[in-house]
Amino acid sequence: MLDDFLRDHDGVVTLPQAKQAGLTQDMVDSRVRTGRWIRCARGVYFVDDRPFTDSARVRVGVWSYGRHAVATGLAAAWWHGITKYPPEIVEATTPHASRLRVHPGTKLRRRDLDPADIVERRGLRVTALALTVVEAAARRGGGAKLMDSALQRHTELRDLWRAHLRNKGRHGSPAARRLLIAAADGARSEAERLLIKLLREAQITGWKANYRLGRYVIDVAFPAHKLAIETDGWAFHSDQADFQHDRVRQNEIALMGWQVLRFTWLDLTEYPQRVIAEIRFAIECRSGASASFRTGAAR
């Protein structure tokens, strides 16, 4: 019975769980003295006959705060499989009335979670999927990319809003709200505003917003260089029809002698310097090509 439990729980066991499996306090102490078990925290042990995996580390981090603790933030996101990167710091939440000391390698938050926002996965209490996405996206290392990815595969926007509204006032709530608002309209209009803001801050001139070319309106155009900049919203808003339309549009613009650069909302928010660098490089290349063409024509 104990061996099955340890196999299913990454080699981690609490004292109450060990006693439920038939061990006494003396038997647990004996295993610790002989080095078969490692005491990771008060009442939490790791059986040292297997690798200490990231799953074991997260489990220890949460269980070290007692049976009411819940994995939250990026720890919960990784546990749910929303992100492939295990958390450097294990975030756990305990009831507001708890008075616990923070353990190394963990971050403790105290608040009372709604029962609807707690689930059990592989024997570990974690925040439910919707709240996990909302909170993890607001953490450093999460961001819009995590929320967009989750909306493509795991959950729906209305569920994220419900979880957010049930937990107003929590850490990261304003940032999460901004992401949810951006997600609501696909962030397309916001992406255009961000692009224009970046161009102005970089003091890049010669562009026109909403420039008409044939039957299309280009988000931002550099007419002198025949350079078109197009912005995209969040991937979860796109479908096959949108994808096909964008490809037809881009091909027609290119056939008119224009170069097209596409940037997503994520590019503009997470990698703004790279966006500006690519635009500058494209302008330089188009300027050089234009100069070469004029020189050749003069000859």
Express each pLDDT in 130-150 by its tens digit: 999 999 998 888 887 888 888
Of the pLDDT bands very low, low, confident and very high (cuts 50, 70, 90), residue 185 is: low
Q: What domain count does the chain have?
A: 2
Same domain, 179 and 192: no
Average pLDDT over residues 107-116: 94
Q: By residue range, what is the domain housing residue 66?
A: 53-184
Contact 56, 10 (CB under 8 A): yes
Of the pLDDT bands very low, low, confident and very high (cuts 50, 70, 90), residue 298 is: very low
What's residue 176's pLDDT? Answer: 87
Same domain, 72 and 180: yes
Decide if 16 is inside a domain.
no
Pairwise CA distance, residues 158 & 204, whole Å: 39
Decide if 4 is inside a domain.
no
Decide if 11 is inside a domain.
no
Same domain, 165 and 200: no
Lookup: tokens for 119: 């689930």
Q: Phi, psi (5° rounding) for residue 206? A: 90, 10
Q: Domain boundary residue among 154, 184, 214?
A: 184
Tell whether the model's pLDDT for residue 189 goes beyond 80.
Answer: no
HEC-encoded secondary structure of the chain: CHHHHHHHCCCEEEHHHHHHCCCCHHHHHHHHHCCCEEEEECCEEEECCCCCCHHHHHHHHHHCCCCCCEECHHHHHHHHCCCCCCCCCEEEEECCCCCCCCCCCEEEEECCCCHHHEEEECCEEEECHHHHHHHHHCCCCCHHHHHHHHHHHCCCHHHHHHHHHHCCCCCCHHHHHHHHHHHHCCCHHHHHHHHHHHHHHCCCCCCEEEEEECCEEEEEEEHHHCEEEEEECCHHHCCHHHHHHHHHHHHHHHHCCCEEEEEEHHHHHHCHHHHHHHHHHHHHHHHHHHHHHHHHHHC
Same domain, 289 and 204: yes
Same domain, 201 and 218: yes
Q: How many residues does the chain have?
A: 299
Decide if 43 is inside a domain.
no
Q: What is the pTM of this model?
A: 0.69
CATH no. for residue 253? Answer: 3.40.960.10
Same domain, 198 and 243: yes
Decide if 132 is inside a domain.
yes
Decide if 221 is inside a domain.
yes
To the nearest whole percent, how much of the chain has pLDDT over 90? 63
Tell whether the model's pLDDT for residue 293 goes beyond 60.
Answer: no
Same domain, 150 and 267: no
Same domain, 57 and 170: yes
Q: How many CB atoms lie under 10 A from the CB of residue 288?
A: 10
pLDDT tens digits, residue range 229-281?
998 866 655 555 666 777 888 999 999 999 999 998 888 888 999 999 999 99
Same domain, 58 and 180: yes
pLDDT tens digits, residue range 10-57?
999 999 999 999 999 999 999 999 999 999 999 999 999 999 999 999
Same domain, 167 and 105: yes
> 212 Cβ partners below 8 Å, 6+ apart?
218
Q: Domain boundary residue among 184, 201, 221?
A: 184
Decide if 39 is inside a domain.
no
CB environment 3-15: b (16+ within 10 A), e (fewer) = eebbeebbbbbbe
Residue 146, CA distances (Å) to 77, 100, 156, 183, 248 in order: 9, 30, 13, 12, 29
Mean pLDDT (the chain, rounded): 89
Same domain, 141 and 67: yes
Residue 224, CA distances (Å) to 112, 164, 294 in order: 59, 46, 13
Lookup: tokens for 59: 């489990």
Q: Domain boundary residue among 153, 184, 215?
A: 184
Say how many CA atoms lie within 13 Å of 79 toward its Cβ. Answer: 32
Same domain, 220 and 134: no
Handedness of CA 63, 68, 69, 73 (dihedral sign): positive
Q: How many CB atoms lie under 10 A from the CB of residue 164?
A: 21
Decide if 274 is inside a domain.
yes
